[in-house]
Amino acid sequence: MKAVLFDLDGVITDTAHYHYKAWRWLGKEIGVVVDEAFNEELKGISRSESLEKILEKGNLTTKYTQTEKNELATKKNDVYQKMIEEMTPNDLLPGIQELLLDLKEKQLKIGLASASQNGPFILSKLNIADLFDTIVDPTTLKAGKPAPDIFIQGAKQLAIAPVDCVGVEDAIAGVSAICAANMAAVGVGDAVQLKEATKVVPTTDLLTYPLLEKTWQDYRNEG
């Protein structure tokens, strides 16, 4: 294992509830109910894809022009950004800072592979931006998760072969993307939902260097 690529939401910090609140707010604005169950479908996918799902749910897909859709997505992001302004290093999920420092000490490369365009801003709020060797810009990719593009690009930016990387994700779409990129996948959350992953842990505090290294070894042995 030479590099680890992390998703952001639900892995490094939990901004998922901020996203949910912001989408719920936008839903009210346009007359679509966004509840917690529906919000599960929005995890791990891009802002524009999330908006399309919400419009589809309300049979509003053809009601808005592309320009109006972009404006709606921007409105949602403005609400979300106001919320994340308040973030501090206390918002890091358990064990993540220790893991990042351990990976650094062992001279592994670290990358961010998140569909969130707010990634760099959030990492700076959490005071861990300097621990990342690269951040993939999701706006430059042809396809979002579950396509492997973001993880392949992350490995490329780190100059490490995908097969020598481990990806860490909490969403089904994200785990699928890691697998499609030919990387060992570590899932955080429900083992049944994330069954495609090489290894699943229920919570972030169980993510350690030995666990990631062993997962990579197991993946190589399977392959």
**Binding site for substrate: residue ranges?**
7-9, 23, 42-47, 50, 76, 114-118, 145
Positions at the binding site for Mg(2+): 7, 9, 169-170
Residue ranges at the known binding site: 7-9, 23, 42-47, 50, 76, 114-118, 145, 169-170
**Element spanning 175, H or E:** helix 172-180
Q: Which residue intervals of 93-171 are DSSP H helices?
A: 96-105, 119-125, 149-158
Residue 107 CB burial class (10 angstroms; 0-12, 13-18, ≥19): exposed
Between helix 66-84 and helix 47-57 the angle, nearest 10°, is 110
Query: Is 9 one of the catalytic residues?
Result: yes
Annotated active-site residue in 9, 78, 149, 190: 9
Q: Which of 82, 72, 96 is nearest to 14 (CA)?
A: 96
Edge-to-edge strands of the sheet including 3-6? 134-135, 109-112, 3-6, 165-169, 184-188, 199-201
Of 7, 102, 149, 164, which is the active-site residue? 7
Catalytic residue list: 7, 9
